[in-house]
Amino acid sequence: MVEFVMPVATGITLVEVVGVEAVLPECQACQKGDLVPLSDFGAHGAPIHYKAWVCTNPNCGFNIKIRNGDVYLNEPIVSGEDHAPRTR
């Protein structure tokens, strides 16, 4: 896991702010990857923050997401190679 610390100068004191990557929960399914939050956009362009959490381990693929108030576990992940870009 990449851990980065960003120094932020606040007047005379130097406060270290730990990046969000450092607090990602460990994947409980494989114990190797981290769960990263993914955001999406709604039908009218409204952002849907942290709609899905996905494991960073490609051999694991554990994911959990919420849709219309229901929580979905381990839905199949679409490979980017087969995914045709959306035409507008």
Residues touching Zn ion: how many (CB under 5 A)? 8
Select the span of 7-15, 20-28, 44-52, 78-86 touching Zn ion (CB under 5 A).
20-28
Around Cβ 86, how many Cβ atoms within 10 Å? 5
Judged by CB under 5 A, which of 24, 36, 48, 60 binds Zn ion?
Answer: 60
Q: Are 12 and 20 in contact (CB under 8 A)?
A: no
Single-letter amino acid code for the residue at 56: T
Q: Comparing C-alpha atoms, which of 81, 30, 26 is closest to residue 60?
A: 30
Judged by CB under 5 A, which of 27, 53, 54, 65 binds Zn ion?
Answer: 27
Regarding 55 and contact with Zn ion (CB under 5 A), the answer is: yes
